[in-house]
Structure formats: structure tokens, C-alpha cells
Amino acid sequence: MALLIPFARRQSDGRLVDASSVPNGKRCDCTCPECGAALIAKHGTEKVSHFAHANTVTCTGAYETSLHETAKQVIAELGFVWLPPSSMGPKIKFSFARAEIEKKANTLRPDVTIYTVGGRPLALEVMVTHEVDPKKIDQLRRDGLSCVEFDCSELPRDLTYEALRSLFATDAIPGHWAFNFKADALEAKLAAEEQRRVTREAILQEAADRRKRDQDQKDLTAWLQSPHARARELEIQGDVASGFVVGCPIRRRGRLEKFKGVAFAALDCPKCVYFAGRNDGTADRQFIKCIGHFPKLALQDHTTIRNFGGDPGRLLENKICTPEIDAPSQNPF
């Protein structure tokens, strides 16, 4: 059967003790750390010595409170603690100059506050049932107070005082940083530096992209304003109604081997986004005006191309088309 009260408070000196260190029965002169009622010590030959209430009382937290209070006393008297690893360094055995139990530090009252030789405080918390919550961590951060929490929730219920002391002395009690002021400051500094690096790279990349867009625009403007940028005239083979043009840039009829690279002048060209009109020429020779040989253009309104008579310079001036980012910087043919 699980023991209810492994430790009690001795009235003569206020120390937390186990049952084996005091006289048996009521002569132990001990009280319950949880409710304050009188306890009796039960020395057993078959069972580990323990305490029990002298009278019938309702006290549900006797075990947790007795362990919690005794662990604080053990830490304060031990003179050192094992500090867990962090970004500031590995696990170390840390000897402290002095310790205070349940003394207010800034706005908090840690279970134990230990101090370096220089007077810098470190909060220690003993967790039996309730761990350090986010609200307390936020307060630790505001106070700039580092804190280590030791987990005593899984300890055996038949502990003696010396056994508990040995567990703390040999680093057998799991501990972790609930909050580490220096590690937190270092992480914040590294995060800020990383954010500055990302922002700086984004600014540099944006500037590089802007320079490339500007250069592409200049290259395209220069090319569109050159004589070579006029619409290409593709001669209609045959009559206008049933004839075709050779050299269609999109190979409208390319799926048929017989018509590879051609388009029908009356059926295909007028519906094509690259159609820029027709030059009637003479009775014997007629042409389709085609701008499909231009560099890649992001056309905003294909239907308006025909209104500019195949003159890409006018298209640019009226902002009908703009260059794609990967537009070639030189004449493609």
C-alpha cells in the first residue's frame, strides 16, 4: 500500500524529517506539512517507517506537500545543484553562496532562491503536481530572473530523507530550464540578426530584380523602336479567300505534315493574337501583317493590336504591352 506521509515537520526545530529519525508514536512531536494536524510516527519492521494522522482528518494533499517542502529543504542544505544544459553551455554542478526558501524575489516567490558569490539570484522550483506555467514564465522574463525546475512527480512514495538527498546530490532528479535569461537574450539576439539578414537579402534581391526589369525595358524599347521591329509581311499564297501564308510563327497548321508552318490567311490569321492587319499590295501579291516574330510580350489586350497597324512602337507608347522578365535583350532573328 502506498504511504501517505513520508515526511513531517518536527515541532522542536521546524525541520522536515522522516519517521525513522524521530521517536515512535505520538512522542515524535511532528505535524502534517499540509494541514498542520498532529502526526504519529510508525516504525515498521516489515514496512518502511512513515507518518499518519493521529486523529481522523480530511487531508488529501499530505504526501505532495510533505515531499515538496522536504525537497526545498534538501536543496537549500545541500549547497549545490545540477544545472541542466542550455545554449549557454553543458550541464554543470553549481555551488551557491546561500539559499532562501520561499523568499520574495522581485515580484515572485520561488520555492528556493540561490545566490552566486556575486549576489546574482537563480530561482529553483520543485514540481510534484504543478509545473511552472506560462504566466509565471512571462513574469520571470519581465523580472530577468532565470529559473530551473526539478521534476519530483515520479519519485517513489516510500523515500527516506537521506534517499531524497542522495537523488539531488547525484543528479538523479530530472531538471530543465523553465527560463534562462542569458539564453533567452542570446536567442533573441540571434533571431534579430537573422531577421536583419533576411531583410537585407530581400532588399538586395528586390534591387537586383528592379535593375533587371529596367534593363529589360530599355533593351525592349530600343529594339521596338528600331527598323527591324516593324510587322513582318507574310505573302499570301493563292487568293485571299483560300490562300495560306508560309512562315507562321506558331505553326497554326503544324499538326498536319502537309501544312507544317503555315496558316490559312482567311481562316486562321484574323483570329490570331499576332495578326496586325493585311496589306493588299497588288492584285498579284497580297500580304498578312504578323508580329509573332517579336520578343516575348505580355499582351494586356490582344484585340487592340490590330488597331495600331502592326507598329509595335505605338503598342509600347500606348502601354498595350509590356516586356516579360525573361524577354530577350537583343533581336531574336
Question: pLDDT tens across 183-205, in order?
Answer: 998 988 999 999 999 999 999 99
Confidence at 249, pLDDT banded by 50, 70, 90: confident
Is the residue at 301 inside a domain? yes
107 close to 139: Cβ distance less than 8 angstroms: yes
Is the residue at 177 inside a domain? no
Question: Chain-wide mean pLDDT for the chain?
Answer: 82
User: Given this model, what pLDDT does residue 284 score?
Assistant: 75
Choosing from 50, 65, 80, the residue where a domain stops is 65
DSSP 5: B
pLDDT, mean of residues 306-316: 46
State yes or no: pLDDT of 318 exceeds 50. Answer: no
pTM of the model: 0.61
How many independent structural domains does the chain possess?
A: 2
Is the residue at 235 inside a domain? yes
State yes or no: pLDDT of 279 exceeds 50. Answer: yes
| Of the candidate ranges 63-67, 72-76, 317-321, 323-327, the one whose mean pLDDT is the lowest | 323-327
Is the residue at 316 inside a domain? yes
Q: Which domain holds residue 16?
A: 7-65
Is the residue at 300 inside a domain? yes
User: Given this model, what pLDDT does residue 248 score?
Assistant: 81
Q: Cite the DSSP H helix spans in the chain.
A: 62-78, 134-143, 161-169, 181-224, 312-317
Sign of the CA dihedral running 86, 89, 91, 93: negative
Is the residue at 243 inside a domain? yes
Choosing from 65, 83, 100, the residue where a domain stops is 65
State yes or no: pLDDT of 329 exceeds 60. Answer: no
User: Given this model, what pLDDT does residue 125 score?
Assistant: 97
Collapsing DSSP to helix, strand or coil, 284 comes out as coil
User: Given this model, what pLDDT does residue 287 score?
Assistant: 87
Residue 175's DSSP bridge partners are 150
Is the residue at 252 inside a domain? yes
The three-state (H, E, C) secondary structure of 72-137, written as one string: HHHHHHHCEEEECCECCECCEEEECCEEEECCCECCECCCEEEECCCCCEEEEEEECCCCCCHHHH
How many CB atoms lie under 10 A from the CB of residue 16? 22
Q: Based on C-alpha coordinates, what's the Rg of the chain?
A: 44
Give the angle subtended at the CA of 108 by the CAs of 104 and 112, to the nearest 5°. 60
Confidence at 294, pLDDT banded by 50, 70, 90: low
State yes or no: pLDDT of 297 exceeds 80. Answer: no
State yes or no: pLDDT of 225 exceeds 70. Answer: no
333 close to 293: Cβ distance less than 8 angstroms: yes
Choosing from 65, 83, 115, the residue where a domain stops is 65
